[in-house]
Structure 1
């Protein structure tokens, strides 16, 4: 017997009815925003080789720096991962603007490692989850993937503005 799943439009690249598992789709999306180049540049490539000064650089319009964008992703990806794992947390009354924190000379390398470890933890959590759990969470995870892709685009835009992006890495 064939099993068909209906997926929301956010699960890009698949027909509305597919024999592909929810797990496979979510993992593919996550990996392409994490460390697997596909239709766009993943975050590991987008932030690779940045100095702390480049990571904290802001344009004259006051847009977010790369470090602020990465810290924002870390905060929300980790927050949602904890919820996905069923870990109860004390309610956090945080203003979203506060999640866009800069990095220091001393913390930038750790920030780069942290985004990688959070996304790796997401991949492991999805791999270990059963289809029932994923079926009840796929929309949230798909939105996380879209959110990550959105901010990665901003990171590349900032790198292009500052002249630190090498188009050989995927985006001209």
Structure 2
């Protein structure tokens, strides 16, 4: 097998895997199910003992996904936030529909990048497009695990779309 063939197979495998990492599937409950059935009030309620609401977690994921997509789509580094708090927007109950819709809009922007032939090209100092996409997927999955925990603490799990309860 040639290096070119190996690279093409790796590229195809990554292109098939990436949407699963963002959306869930066999390894974890999908993001659509994780967010389904939440009222504006539930989404913005921070349970006692937990640092964030579902809406805050999703807004934070949106902040970083937008930042990384801007780097990928503009092809140049973006300024890093000065403080972590800058990436945690305040979310009111009336904001939840917008925050949720923005999450899905950003997710749709990610899809076409998975099959790019230039995933190994650097775009942010030393990071490549593929590395940024993988970072986005891992960051999203990490915080969606927290979404499940918040929903469990609220007594709002499993969602109507289903979810593991064992």
Q: Hey, which bits of structure 1, 4+ residues long, moved more than 3 A? A: 87-94
The question of whether the paired residues in 2 share the 8 Å contact of 1:67 and 1:103 is answered with yes
Q: Which runs of 5+ in 1 are unaligned?
A: 6-18
1:151 corresponds to: 143
2:164 corresponds to: 171
2:6 corresponds to: 4
Residue 101 of structure 1: how far off its partner (Å): 2.1
The question of whether the paired residues in 1 share the 8 Å contact of 2:40 and 2:93 is answered with yes
Residue 59 of structure 1: how far off its partner (Å): 2.2
Residue 98 to residue 61, structure 1, CA distance change in 2 (3 Å): farther
Q: Which runs of 5+ in 2 are unaligned?
A: 122-128
Q: Deviations 1:64-98 (Å, cap 9, x if unpaired)?
A: 11111000100100100110112558736442223
Supply the distance in 1 between the matched residues of 2:39 and 2:50 (Cα, whole angstroms): 20
Report the TM-score, using the length of structure 2 for normalisation.
0.80
Supply the distance in 1 between the matched residues of 2:59 and 2:79 (Cα, whole angstroms): 20
Residue 150 to residue 111, structure 1, CA distance change in 2 (3 Å): same
Give the paired residue count: 155
Residue 87 to residue 140, structure 1, CA distance change in 2 (3 Å): closer
Tell me the SS of whatever aligns to 2:29. Answer: coil
1:12 corresponds to: none
| 1:69 equivalent in alignment to 2:68 | no
| 1:102 equivalent in alignment to 2:102 | no
Residue 155 of structure 1: how far off its partner (Å): 0.3
Supply the distance in 1 between the matched residues of 2:51 and 2:84 (Cα, whole angstroms): 15
| 1:30 equivalent in alignment to 2:19 | yes
